[in-house]
Amino acid sequence: MSCREATAADLDAVVALELVCFAEDPWTWGMLKDELTRPGGVFIVVGEPGRPVAFAIGWAVLDELHVLQVAVDPSARRRGLGRELMDELVARSPAAENAWLEVRRDNVAAIGLYEALDYRAVGCRPRYYTDGCDALLLRRPLTRR
Ligand SMILES: CC(C)(COP(=O)(O)OP(=O)(O)OC[C@H]1O[C@@H](n2cnc3c(N)ncnc32)[C@H](O)[C@@H]1OP(=O)(O)O)[C@@H](O)C(=O)NCCC(=O)NCCS
């Protein structure tokens, strides 16, 4: 399986992934639909049309890539899909010089993924999430050859 651009046919399955992966604050169908046409937006999935098992959303704004969402169905984790999606967001944002993201301080899997990809914490937003958890702000300089 390889990454491809998301389509409207994928939205129901992505909503289902949102509910499984981000149960406390899932994006809605309408929010996700807007991402299909956002200027500078990158919305990619892995899986058959209408049946993605993983997805990621980024915004390429001037020389920055903002990683907003990356999620893999629990049954498909630890097979490299998270890494593949993160690499593809960067590949599809050719003008970006830095990638930025926020992650819950207690999200061990996501922090493991980001650290493996050379993202480093550059700040903290105390009690950023509704349950009081801090957000770590991570940055990765993007060197391209
Ligand atoms: C975070 C997430 C996207 C990782 O996806 P994945 O497909 O399992 O990740 P990969 O298989 O590509 O893992 C790549 C590397 O990340 C690190 N990693 C991944 N999961 C990890 C875990 N549970 N604990 C520690 N490190 C982990 C490892 O270094 C791994 O390499 P390895 O498998 O060779 O050891 C997935 O766990 C997920 O969807 N979580 C719920 C949604 C979420 O929290 N998203 C991030 C919000 S900021």
Residue 100's pLDDT band (boundaries 50, 70, 90)? very high
Residue nearest to atom 41 of ligand 1 (CA): 21
Ligand 1 contact, 113 CB (< 6 A): yes
Ligand 1 contact, 138 CB (< 6 A): no
What is the full DSSP assignment across the chain?
Answer: --EEE--GGGHHHHHHHHHHH-TTSPPPHHHHHHHTS-TTEEEEEEEETTEEEEEEEEEEETTEEEEEEEEE-GGGTTSSHHHHHHHHHHHT-TT-SEEEEEEETT-HHHHHHHHHTT-EEEEEETT-STTS--EEEEEEE----
What percent of the chain clears pLDDT 70, i.e. is strictly above it? 99
Residue nearest to atom 32 of ligand 1 (CA): 78
Residue 145's pLDDT band (boundaries 50, 70, 90)? low
Query: 138 pLDDT exceeds 60?
Result: yes
Query: What's the 3 CA to ligand 1 centre distance in angstroms?
Result: 16
Catalytic residue among 102, 115, 128, 129: 102
- Per-residue pLDDT of 46-80, as tens digits, reads 999 999 999 999 999 999 999 999 999 999 999 99
CATH (domain of 37): 3.40.630.30
**Catalytic site includes residue 102:** yes
State the chain's mean pLDDT as an integer: 96
Q: For 10-14, 123-127, 129-133, which range has the lowest pLDDT when averaged over its residues?
A: 129-133
Ligand 1 contact, 72 CB (< 6 A): yes
Give the model's pLDDT for residue 144. Answer: 65
Catalytic residue among 18, 35, 88, 114: 114
What percent of the chain clears pLDDT 90, i.e. is strictly above it? 94
- Please count the structural domains in the chain: 1
Residue nearest to atom 23 of ligand 1 (CA): 109
Residue ranges making up the domain that contains 26:
3-141
pTM above 0.95, yes or no: yes
Give the model's pLDDT for residue 1. Answer: 76
**Catalytic site includes residue 114:** yes
Query: 117 pLDDT exceeds 80?
Result: yes
